[in-house]
Structures are given as C-alpha cells and as structure tokens.
Structure 1
Amino acid sequence: MTQTRYRLHEFLGYRLSIASRQQERRLDDGLRELGLTRITWCVLLAVGNEELSQPSEIAQFVGIDRTATSRALRQMEEDGLLARASGRDDRRTRRVTLTDHGRKVLAKGSPIAQDNNDTMARQLTATEQDTLKALLDKLIEGEQKALKRL
C-alpha cells in the first residue's frame, strides 16, 4: 500500500498561517514603536472604539482568556493607558476606561493598523476581499461550532 506524502505547502492551514504571520509581523513592528503588542492594541480597540468596559467583555472581544486579559489590563494600567475602577453597585466588578494617554496612543496606532490592513488588501480586488472575508467567516464559524461540540 502506497502512503501519500504530506505536502505542507499544499495545505490550507499552512497557507492561512503564513498569510496571518506576515500580517501580524508587520502590525507588531508598527505597534512596537508605540510600546504596544497585538493584545494590548486589541484591548485599546475594545475599550476605546467598542466602548467595552468589563474585563469579561474585553476578553471575549480580543479572543483571549480571563487570565491573559487580567495580565494585559494590569500592564496597561501600569503603562498609563487605561484605568480600572470598582463598580458603583458591586465593588467586585471592575470598569475599564481609557486614560488621555490611552486615547492618544489609540489615535496614533489607528493609522498603523489601517496601513497594515491596506497593504494586504491592495493585493486583492474588492470582490476577492469580500469572497475571502466570507470564506474566512465560514471557517471561523465552523471551528466555533466544532469546539462547542467537544
């Protein structure tokens, strides 16, 4: 019986990983100048643009667990990017807000992230971009359903 050889470069997952790493590396390089990582950038977006204020909401938006979120929030608070305060009615809840410094860094990071996106998007037509987004959404939704069944 002949066994088919596994050809890494022929697989969808490998190609997705390479494209993702290229985009991530470019974004990381730009954000590093602002003292940010991709996670801290996503947290800034969650709080500043999406107006999320609860750590659980932020964790879900960013796609990381609560421990990683707590670590990022603590570091970002130390860096003066955000503030955390106890809730009014329930002292156990934490409300997260951007500081003035956090808003300035968000404003400086937005063109970096937009340029990163544009660099990748320019390689595809508008129709190809729409198709790729739809296909990626389909893959993401399928994976989420599969994980829920486990």
Structure 2
Amino acid sequence: MAHTEPYRLHHSLGYQLSIAARMQERRLDDRLKPHGLTRTTWCILLAIGNEALSQPSDIADFVGIDRTATSRALRHMEQEGWIDRASGTEDKRTRRVSVTGEGRRLIKQCTPYARENAAVMSTALSDAEEAELKRLLGKLRETGDAPLATL
C-alpha cells in the first residue's frame, strides 16, 4: 500500500522519542559535567557500584553500548581513580572491574541529580501514565532487531 501523504517528521513516534530522550539526557549531562562525568561514565559507574557488575562485557550489555566504547570509558575512569581493573585469576585476559572509594563518593554525590532528572519527567505524568509508558517502551524495545549492545 503506497502512502500518498508526505512524511511528517514531528508526527513520527521515533522523532518524539528522540526529542524526549535528548531533553532528559541534556539535563543529566549538565549536572554530571562539573564532576567530570558523562552519561556513559555515570551509567558504567552505576553498573559497577550499584549492580555489582565486574566484567566489561556485562557492563557493556547493561549500559547498552558496544565493548569498544566500554573499554575506552573504563580506561578513562581508571585514570580518574573512579574504578580499579585487575586481571582475572584463571585467564589473564579477563579483566575484573571494581569501584574505588572516589567512585563511591561520586555515586553518592550525583545520585540526587539522577533522581531529580527522573522526577522532571515523572511529574508530567500520573503514576498510571508513567507505568503505561514504561510498559509501552519495553514493548518497543522487544521489537528491535539488533542487540542493544550493538547500537
């Protein structure tokens, strides 16, 4: 079936999702930047410190970024003193990652910013609307044809 109507960018679901995500990302970036963090390093720090993930591949999958970007961020974070990386015991190629005291301090200091940022969007919706939006977004993620870590 051929569409005869012109494609309207501002009417598309993808565009609306992108704009909402960028607004949320920009607010958080602005709060994290003075602490030397980016959204990516923040998410990685949470994966290690709050979720107890220690393998770079697990961290990449959790955050939804590729392994190369994860490795680059981990090197930077180690240089900053936020994490430690050590070789595994059975396989020297395996790297185990752990959060340092400085990394824990950053998590504690920046968590209120993440909560405030989440609250901005939440206040625009009722509890039922927020639950429904999360359900629908989950449904959309399930339709994706590419693994999240490759996006």
TM-score bracket, shorter-length normalisation: over 0.9
| Greater RCO structure (CA 8 Å; 6+ sep) | 2
Number of matched pairs: 146
In the TM superposition, residue 89 of structure 1 has moved relative to its aligned partner by 2.0
User: How far apart are residue 3 of structure 1 and its match?
Assistant: 3.3
Partner residue, 2:102? 101
1:120: which partner in 2? Answer: 121
Stretches of structure 1 lacking an aligned partner (at least 5 in a row): none
1:29-68 aligned within 5 A? 29-68=30-69
Deviation at residue 118 of structure 1 after TM alignment: 0.5
Match of 2:86, SS state, is strand
CA distance in 2, matches of 1:71, 1:2: 44
Shift of residue 54, structure 1, vs aligned partner: 0.5
Shift of the alpha carbon at 1:103? 0.5
Give distance in 2, aligned partners of 1:90 and 1:68: 22
Matches within 5 A, 1:1-150: 3-143=4-144, 146-147=145-146
Give me the whole-angstrom Cα distance separating, in 1, the residues matched to 2:45 and 2:70.
12
Q: CA deviation at 1:147?
A: 2.9
- RMSD of the TM alignment (CA)? 1.4
Displacement, 1:2? 8.8
Shift of 1:26: 0.2
SS in 2 for 1:33: helix
Give TM-score scaled by structure 2 length: 0.93
Deviation of 1:87 after TM superposition, in Å, equals 1.0
| Cα separation, 2, equivalents of 1:124 and 1:43 | 28
The runs of at least 4 consecutive aligned structure 1 residues that moved more than 4 Å come to none
The gaps in structure 2 that reach 5 residues or longer are: none
For residues 39-68 of structure 1, what are the alpha-carbon distances to aligned partners after superposition, in whole Å with 9 as ceiling and x for unaligned?
000000100000000001001001111110
Amino acid at match of 2:49: G
Provide the TM-score with structure 1 as the length reference.
Answer: 0.93
